[in-house]
Amino acid sequence: MPKRPTTVLLVLSALLGGILVYNYADWFHRRPIQITHRFHAFGGRFDTGGVAPLMFEFNARLKLTSVKVVPLCDLLTNKFAHPIWHIVSDSNSVPTRGFLYGMDVPGMRPAVAGIIAEPLDPTQKYRLLIEAGSLKAQHDFDLAPL
């Protein structure tokens, strides 16, 4: 008979320990997506007096399902603002750590056939909205030098 209370206590201790680890350890939580941007000069190949290509980078490889860039002023006044660049993937996007604004992203296509990215206006701020499966993230940016 004395073995039974010990077994029950061990099981309860293991269960309580498992609950504590699950709730307070980061083992089971997804890390948030961090997005940065920078101008990518490619060793001067694009030095035409215009703006250097804009590179977006992530803290992890992502299988993107949607990429959208919207002027921030439009988004603040209209919940359904018109994106100036919108690409999607149905299922076959290639995991990536970043991409250039307006360029082809492997495995993705324009949301509306034949539409390409509109040029960015240096006087405006923009919001990048990405989705990678159930994960979503956003990043506000402008064309001011970093």
Tokens encoding 93: 């996007």
**pLDDT mean across residues, the chain:** 84
Q: In this predicted model, what pLDDT tens digit does every residue of 24-60 receive, in sequence order?
A: 776 666 678 899 998 876 544 444 445 568 899 999 8
- Name the residue among 59, 63, 55 with its Cα closest to residue 95: 63
Please check whether residue 37 is in contact with residue 56, taking contact to mean a CB–CB distance below 8 angstroms.
Answer: yes
Tokens encoding 133: 């499966």
| Euclidean distance between CA atoms 104 and 94, whole angstroms | 12
Q: In this predicted model, what pLDDT tens digit does every residue of 113-122 receive, in sequence order?
A: 888 889 888 8
Query: Helices (H) and strands (E) in the chain — how many of each?
Result: 2, 8
| Euclidean distance between CA atoms 100 and 45, whole angstroms | 15
Q: Quick one: pLDDT at residue 41?
A: 65
Average pLDDT of 76-95? 88
| Euclidean distance between CA atoms 146 and 11, whole angstroms | 56
Q: Quick one: pLDDT at residue 90?
A: 80
